[in-house]
Structure 1
Amino acid sequence: MWRDGDFRSLWVGQTASQLGEHTSLLVLPLFAVLTLDAGAGELGVLRAVGQAPILLLSLFVGAWVDRWRTRTVMVLSDAGRTLALGAAALAGLLGGLGLPALYVVVFAVGVLSVFFDVAYQSSLVRLVRRDQLVRGNSALEGSRSAAQIGGPALGGALVSWLSAPVAACVGALFFTLSFLSIRRIRRVESVPDLPKHPERRPPRTGRRIYEGLRFVVGDTSLRTVCLASAAFQFSFAALMTVHLLFLPRELHLPGAVVGLSLAATGPGALLGSLLAARLPGRFGHGAVLVSAAALGDGAFLWVPALHGSSAMTVVALLAVGFVFGAGGQLVNVTVMAVRQAVTPDGMQGRAAATITFVGMGLTPLGSLLGGYLAQEWGLRTSLLVTAAGMLLSPVVMALSPLARLGRTLPEPARHAGPTSD
C-alpha cells in the first residue's frame, strides 16, 4: 500500500495537518495567556469560539462533504488555515494582534478544521481497496498519535524559546505542507451523483441528518455513548481552560514544560491502542469501557494537589497525561468498535457524525464554564471540580446496559427507512 503514491500523499498531508492542528491548539491559547495577558474568562471565550464550529456545522458538513471530492475540500481547508495562521503570525510579530482579532483567527481555523476532519475521514474509503482499510486506518491513527506527542511539545517549546507568533508561523507551515502533499493526489474519486433537481437538495440533506439522529437516539448503546461523551467533553473542555491557566500561573511552568505535559498523552494513546486489541476480548467490552474511563478521567484529580515547578511536579504531570491518554484511547477504540458493530453499513457515516455532534456540541459551553469557575472560585478549586465532573462519564456507562456488553460485539441493529448514501 505504501507504494501507492496517492495514499502516501494522503498520509503525509494528514500527518502535517494534525501537527499543525495540535501545535496551534496550544500556541493560540498560550499567546492569549502569556502575550496578551488574557484572564480566565477571556481564555474561556477564546476556546469556546474555536470549538463552536463543531456544534454549528458538523452535521451539515458531514452531509455536504458526501457530495464533493474530499481532495478538493482538504486542499481548500489547508489553504484557508495557512492564510489564517500566517496572518495571525504576521500581526503578532508587528504587535498588532489583539484578543478580538485572535477570536476571529481561532474561529476561522475551527471552521476549516471541521471541513478537513470530515473530509479526510471519508477520503480513505475512496482512495484504497476495501482490503486495505485496516492498514490504512492504522497508519493514519499512528500519525495522529505522533502529532499528539509532537505538536504540543513543539508548540510549547517554540513559545518558550522564541515567541508565540513564531510558533503560529510554524503551524501555518505545517498546513502548507499538508496542502502541497494532498494536491498531489491524482486518483479520481467515486462521488455520489448529485440530485437531478437541485431544489430537492435541502430536504434530502435534512432527511439524512434526521435519520442519523433517530437511529442513534433509538439504540440503547449509542444513546449511552452520546450521553457519556457529552458529559466527558463538557467537563474536559472546562478542565482544559483551567488547566492552561493553572500550569503557567499557579505552578509557574514555562511553555515548553506545558507542551511536554500535554504531549505525554500521545505515548499513552499508543499504549491504549495496543490494549484495545486484547482487553475487550478478554474481560468484556463493557467492563473495559467503564474501568478505562474511570482510570483515565480520574487521573486528573491528582493535578490540583501539585505545588511548585519542581522535577517531581513535572514527572507527576507526565504520569497524569500518560494515564489519561492510555485510558482515553482505550475507551475511544472500544466505543468505535461497538458503534461500528451495532450500526448498519448504510448508517455508519451519519451515526458517527451524530455522536460527534452530541458529544462535542457542549464543549463551547464547557470552555466558558471553565473560565467562569477559574475567575470566581480560583484555579485550584476549579480544577478539582472540573476533574471530578469528568467522572460522570464512567458513571453514566456503569448505570447503563453498555456496561454489560460481553467479550463479543453485539449484532447490527435493525434500521427502518432509507439508508442509501
Structure 2
Amino acid sequence: MPSAFSAVSDSGRPAPSSLWRDGDFRRLWLGQTASQLGEHATLVVLPLFAVLTLNAGAGQVGVLRAVGQAPILLLSLFVGAWVDRWRTRTVMVLTDIGRTLALGAASVAGLFGWLGLPALLVVAIVVGTLSVFFDVAYQASLVRLVKRDQLVRGNSALEGSRSVAQIGGPALGGTLVTLLSAPIAAASSALFFALSFLSIRRIHRTESIPERSERPPRVWQRIHEGLRFVVSDTSLRAVCLASAAFQFSFAAMMTVYLLFLPRELQLSGTAVGLALAATGPGALVGSMLAARLPGRFGHGVVLVSAAALGDGVLLCVPALHGPSAATVAALLAVNFVFGAGSQLVNVTVMAVRQAVTPDGMQGRTAATITFVGMGLTPLGSLLGGFLAGEWGLRTSLVVTATGMMLSPVLMALSPLARLGRALPALQDVPTTAARIQVPETSLRETGGSSPGDVG
C-alpha cells in the first residue's frame, strides 16, 4: 500500500513530475477553486438575501452571519483530527453535494416566497458546517495526492485560489444579487459547489489513509499539544492575540458595512460588489510588496506599519455620504489600500509562523491560530448587529473600525515588532521546540486555512 505521501496512479505509474500536467491535481485545483468561490460568494449572498428579500434588521443580519461562522469555533479543531482518518475525496464530494442541495432548496423556496429567516438560518449553519469539513479536507488531500517535493507548488496554487476567492467571491455575490435577484444568486452559488463536485469526483488516483488502530486516536491529546506549543511561544501568542482582535472587530465592522453601503449610502448591489472587488488588486500589490519590503525594512516594521495603514484607512468610510461617483471612487481607494495592507500582513505573518514552527507541528499550529483568531467572529457579528440597531450605522461603523486598530497596537507591543530583516531560525526558539517532542506520525498534518489573518 502506498504511503500517505506517495503519488501513484491506479495503474501503478508514478504521478507526472509537473503539477499542471497531472490531471488529478488539476481536478483538485478546479474543484477547490469553484468551492472557495461558492463559499465566499455565499457569505455575501445570504446576508443580502435577508436584507433585500426578507427585510431583515441589523440584529437579524448579525445573527445570520454569526450562525454561519459558528462552526469554525465549534468544529475546526475536531474536524482537523477526524479528517486524517477518512478519504478526503469522499469528504469533499459529500460536502459539495450537501451545500448544493441546501442553497438550491433556499433558491427555490425564495422564488416562491416560502423562505423565512428561520429557514435561512438553517441554510447558513448547514453551509458553514460543511465548508469547515471541505476546507480541512482539501488541505489534507494534497499530501495524499502529490509527491513531497511538489507540496510547496501545490499549496501555492491552492492557497492562491483561496485568496482570490476571498477577494472576488464577495464581490461576485453582491453583483449576482443585483443582476439576478437574491434567490437566483443563491442558485448561482450552488452551481459553484456542483462544479466542485463534478471535478473532484473525477480524481482517479488511489488515496491511502492511515490504518485505524483498535483504540480511538487521542484527539484531545493532539489538540492539547498544538495549543501548548502556541501558548509557549511569545511570537505565536502575539499572532493569536492580534488575529483574534482583528477578526472580532472585522466581523463586527463587516456586519455594519453590509448594511451601511446599501441603506446609508444607498448604493446598489453592483456598486457594493465593485467596492469590495477593489481589495483584489490591492491584495495583488500587497503580495508583491511582501516579497521585498520585509527584507529591506525588517519584518516587524512592515507588520506594524501595514496593519496600521490597512486597518486605519477604514476609518474614512463613515465620513462618506450619498451614492455619488465620488463616494464609489473613495470606497474603491479605501478597499484597495485595505487589501494591500491586509495581504502584506498575512504573507509576512505566515512566513514568521512557519519559521518558528517545527514541521511536525505546522498543521496543529495553523489550526490553533485559526481557531483562536476566527473563533471570535460569530461574537463580532452579533456585536455589529447589536451596535447597528442601538447606535445607528454611522456611529457603529466608527466604533468597529476603531476596534480594528487594536491589532496593530498589540503587534507593536509584542516581540513581532522587533523582528529584523532575517526571520528567526527554529533553533533560536528553544523554549518551544525543545520542550515539546513531536511524534513522527504528526508529519502527516498540513497547514490550516488563513492562519495569518491578523490585519
TM-score normalised by the chain length of structure 2: 0.89
- SS in structure 2 opposite 1:2? helix
Distance 2:399 2:168 in 1: 29
Question: 2:378 pairs with 348, 364, 379, which one?
Answer: 364
Distance 1:293 1:13 in 2: 32
Question: 2:143 pairs with 125, 128, 145, which one?
Answer: 125
Q: How far did 1:107 drift?
A: 0.5
User: What is the total number of aligned residue pairs between the two structures?
Assistant: 417
Post-superposition Cα deviations, 1:277-310, rounded to whole Å, max 9, x if no partner, equal 1111111111111111111111110000000001
* Residue ranges of structure 1 left out of the alignment (5+ in a row): none
Distance 2:209 2:65 in 1: 35
- 16 and 213 in structure 1: CA distance in 2 versus 1, 3 angstrom threshold: same
Post-superposition Cα deviations, 1:158-217, rounded to whole Å, max 9, x if no partner, equal 2112210000000000000001101111222342222232xx33xx10100000000000
Post-superposition Cα deviations, 1:72-105, rounded to whole Å, max 9, x if no partner, equal 1111111111111111111101111110000000
Q: How far did 1:334 drift?
A: 1.0
Post-superposition Cα deviations, 1:352-374, rounded to whole Å, max 9, x if no partner, equal 00000000111111001001111
Q: How far did 1:149 drift?
A: 4.5
Paired residues for 1:228-247 under 5 Å:
228-247=242-261
Question: 1:331 pairs with 339, 345, 351, which one?
Answer: 345
Paired residues for 1:342-421 under 5 Å:
342-412=356-426, 413=429, 414=433, 415-419=435-439, 420-421=441-442
Paired residues for 1:5-404 under 5 Å:
5-197=23-215, 200-201=216-217, 204-404=218-418
Q: How far did 1:125 drift?
A: 2.2
- Which structure features the higher share of helix residues? 1
Contact 2:361 2:438 in 1 (8 A): no
Greater shift, 170-179 or 315-324, is seen at 315-324
Share of identical aligned residues, percent? Answer: 80
TM-score normalised by the chain length of structure 1: 0.96
Contact 2:226 2:364 in 1 (8 A): yes
- 166 and 410 in structure 1: CA distance in 2 versus 1, 3 angstrom threshold: same
Contact 1:48 1:364 in 2 (8 A): yes
Contact 1:148 1:265 in 2 (8 A): no
* Residue ranges of structure 2 left out of the alignment (5+ in a row): 1-18, 443-455
Distance 1:154 1:365 in 2: 26
Root mean square deviation of aligned Cα: 1.3
Q: How far did 1:260 drift?
A: 1.5
Distance 2:119 2:413 in 1: 45
Q: How far did 1:252 drift?
A: 0.2
